[in-house]
């Protein structure tokens, strides 16, 4: 189910920290357009990836293709707002790679990006797959190979009970009924994952977009960020499809409360017949059972489509065009990231990705045999999101399943939540600067600041957050609510009282969580734990020696109020940590707590080193 890496948190950080000493001018290449070089004359290209740890073999391939360029990998936490905030503070990376591509936030970022329309590589794409990544006729983004997300069935289970694999909506419902009679959970969906409702709504609703002029017209307006309401006719049809699945016992209240870990465990144990899964990971099934990928079904097999989205989309900063040398280096890196061989590297540890480029065929596993024809016919729908899609779609689908919402109510929920423009309010002026990078001793300055504000607002003696919840650097200057949303994750906060002995065990667990991977995930449960209100002495192998809280060494039997962030709590839940029962959710999340502290104090605490390595 999960893989616990042997390498420790500190070994990882010490390795990554070496560039500080090997290279000069590794700082901001920013919006100034200035070229930065290493001491041996290599151009430095900053690449902002959607997480810290995705695709190590691919990164190695890209670096090998660019021996005369030093690539500085950064982490945008799959958040375009993060990159936009940096750009607005003259800290724009040279290349941006994002997985969660949102029409509204990427539109705002466009003024900082280079038009890629005239690149020779752009001409290698199938034109229809470039449309979602254009703005005002300019090609600001290029998609990497596509992940096919949809229904994955345990084919062995179907054969065991003599149930034919479905190929349209009627046969899908029939198969579900037959399997349900055998006591099998037929279609297990993890709707606590924020993207699952969007997969259901757009996946089963693709017919509504492609089989009517109004639906397709609406889709194009939504992709361009111009739509202000949903297409009533198209979304009524989508509602009817989802309602039919509910009425046939396929979408249930249990789905609404299921998370990815629980769903994966049931599927691997052979307790469910079908789940939602992406082809960018390897399918898991019990024993020697075989998995098979299925499309999102329409009324007939010909009406079925594939729900896809790029493993990431890439853009180049406009600053890279400030000189021929700079532009050539950035384009060389982009080509190395997206060329045919790079796509094949990305495809290696997957069931099969699809290329959006002409004449590029990526190897598909036998599990994708039933959808090969749809790939060949280019019957692929690319996921459409704005910054509200995950939450709005989840509200609408949940209301339909749990509350039996009508079609009108379903559409009203979408209209009321999908097009919200967040209000922006002035908060305070930052007196400090703090990086969100983790140093060689595992300290993250920005996360230290955030953790201290959690202690200050919750009354906790100490706080533990994931350093990834410090999502962008803190700069000196004025801050509004939009800026704060860029630097602090909107995670929930949990508080509880523990003994000193339990606190030490919890911190030790958090260090282990940074090398623990959930099934199918490309990054660990948390990045690195960051502390507020306490300091810890640890060995180089990550073993906790002692904890200092409120200026004194913790007493094993003493009582301490502690606050933990959502990422920490979720990792504890995944690992079945018994300490979870001691925590209750705070009324406010991390952004709200940070904002309250900042507003009241009109300043921020200085960053502190909280780990001392012995």
pLDDT digits (tens, 9 = 90+) for 108-149: 999 999 999 999 999 999 999 999 999 888 999 999 999 999
Residue 20 confidence (pLDDT): 36
- CATH superfamily label, 426-613: 5'-Nucleotidase, C-terminal domain (3.90.780.10)
Distance between CA atoms of 103 and 197, rounded to whole angstroms? 18
Report pLDDT digits (tens) over 378-434: 889 899 999 999 999 999 999 999 999 999 999 999 999 999 988 899 999 999 999
User: Lowest mean pLDDT: which of 12-21, 145-154, 176-185?
Assistant: 12-21
Read off the DSSP letter of residue 110.
G
Q: Which residues, at least 6 apart from 4, have a Cβ–Cβ distance to it below 8 Å?
A: 512, 515, 516, 517
Report pLDDT digits (tens) over 448-468: 999 999 999 999 999 999 999
| Burial class, 549, CB count within 10 angstroms (exposed 0-12 / middle 13-18 / buried 19+) | buried
DSSP state letters, 26-54: -S--TTT----B-TTSPEEEEEEESSSSS
Q: Could you check whether 148-308+366-417 and 426-613 share the same CATH topology?
A: no
- CATH superfamily label, 148-308+366-417: Periplasmic binding protein-like II (3.40.190.10)
Distance between CA atoms of 100 and 193, rounded to whole angstroms? 14
Report pLDDT digits (tens) over 7-43: 334 444 333 333 333 333 333 344 455 778 999 999 9
Distance between CA atoms of 548 and 230, rounded to whole angstroms? 55
Q: Would you say residue 599 has pLDDT above 60?
A: yes
Domain 31-145+311-347 has CATH 1.10.3720.10: no
Phi, psi of 583 (to 5 degrees): -110, 145
Residue 517 confidence (pLDDT): 84
pTM over 0.95: no
152-170 average pLDDT score: 95
SS3 content of the chain, % helix, strand, coil (to 5): 40, 20, 40
Distance between CA atoms of 332 and 322, rounded to whole angstroms? 15
Tokens of 209: 């977009």
Sign, Cα dihedral of 125, 130, 134, 140: negative
Spell out the domain ranges in the chain: 31-145+311-347, 148-308+366-417, 426-613
Q: Would you say residue 312 has pLDDT above 90?
A: yes
Tokens of 502: 């339990």
Please list the alpha-helical segments (H only) found in 185-257.
Answer: 196-203, 206-210, 213-223, 232-247, 253-256
Residue 51 confidence (pLDDT): 83
Q: Which residues, at least 6 apart from 280, have a Cβ–Cβ distance to it below 8 Å?
A: 147, 311, 350, 351, 353
């Amino acid at each position: 189910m999960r893989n616990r890496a042997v390498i420790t948190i500190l070994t990882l950080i010490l390795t990554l920290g070496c560039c500080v000493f090997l290279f000069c001018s590794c700082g901001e290449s920013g919006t100034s357009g200035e070229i930065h070089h290493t001491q041996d004359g290599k151009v430095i290209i900053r690449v902002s990836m959607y997480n810290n740890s995705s695709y190590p073999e691919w990164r190695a391939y890209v670096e090998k293709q660019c021996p005369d360029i030093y690539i500085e990998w950064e982490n945008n936490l799959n958040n375009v707002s993060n990159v936009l905030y940096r750009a607005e503070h003259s800290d724009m990376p040279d290349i941006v790679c994002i997985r969660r591509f949102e029409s509204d936030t990427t539109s705002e970022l466009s003024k900082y990006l280079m038009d890629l329309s005239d690149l020779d590589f752009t001409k290698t794409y199938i034109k229809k797959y470039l449309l979602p990544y254009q703005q005002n006729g300019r090609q600001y983004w290029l998609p990497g190979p596509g992940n096919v997300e949809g229904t994955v069935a345990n084919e062995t289970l179907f054969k065991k009970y003599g149930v034919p694999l479905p190929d349209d909506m009627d046969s899908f419902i029939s198969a579900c009924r037959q399997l349900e009679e055998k006591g099998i959970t037929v279609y297990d969906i993890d709707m606590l994952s924020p993207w699952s409702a969007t997969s259901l709504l757009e996946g089963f609703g693709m017919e509504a977009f492609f089989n009517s002029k109004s639906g397709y017209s609406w889709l194009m307006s939504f992709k361009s960020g111009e739509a202000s309401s949903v297409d009533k006719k198209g979304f009524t049809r989508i509602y009817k499809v989802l309602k039919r699945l509910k009425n046939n016992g396929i979408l249930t209240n249990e789905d609404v409360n299921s998370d990815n870990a629980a769903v994966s465990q049931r599927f691997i144990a052979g307790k469910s017949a079908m789940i939602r899964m992406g082809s960018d990971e390897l399918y898991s099934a019990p024993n020697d059972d075989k998995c098979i990928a299925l499309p999102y079904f329409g009324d007939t097999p010909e009406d079925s489509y594939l729900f896809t989205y790029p493993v990431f989309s890439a853009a180049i900063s406009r600053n890279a065009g400030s000189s021929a040398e700079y532009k050539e280096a950035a384009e060389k890196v982009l080509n190395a990231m997206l060329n045919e061989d790079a796509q094949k590297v990305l495809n290696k540890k997957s069931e099969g990705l699809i290329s959006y480029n002409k004449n590029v065929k990526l190897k598909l596993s036998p599990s994708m045999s039933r959808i090969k024809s749809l790939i060949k016919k280019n019957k692929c729908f690319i996921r459409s999101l704005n910054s509200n899609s995950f939450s709005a779609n989840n509200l609408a689908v949940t209301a339909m399943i749990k509350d039996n919402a009508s079609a009108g109510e379903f559409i009203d929920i979408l209209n009321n939540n999908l097009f919200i423009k967040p209000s922006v309010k002035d908060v305070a002026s930052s007196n400090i600067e703090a990086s969100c990078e983790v140093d060689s001793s595992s300290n993250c300055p920005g996360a230290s600041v955030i953790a201290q504000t959690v202690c200050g607002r919750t009354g906790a003696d100490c706080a533990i957050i994931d350093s990834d919840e410090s999502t962008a650097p803190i700069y000196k200057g004025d801050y509004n609510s939009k800026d704060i949303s860029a630097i602090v994750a909107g995670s929930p906060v949990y508080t509880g009282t523990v003994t000193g002995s339990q606190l030490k065990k919890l911190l030790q667990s958090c260090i282990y969580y940074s090398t623990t991977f959930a099934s199918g995930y490309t990054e660990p449960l948390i990045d690195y734990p960051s502390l507020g209100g306490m300091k810890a002495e640890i060995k180089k192998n990550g073993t906790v020696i002692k904890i200092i809280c409120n200026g004194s060494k913790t007493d094993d039997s003493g009582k301490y109020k502690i606050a933990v962030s959502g990422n920490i709590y979720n990792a504890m839940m995944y690992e079945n940590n018994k300490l979870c029962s001691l925590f209750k959710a705070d009324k406010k999340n991390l952004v709200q707590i940070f904002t309250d502290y900042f507003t009241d104090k009109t300043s921020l605490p200085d960053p502190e080193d909280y780990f001392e390595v012995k």
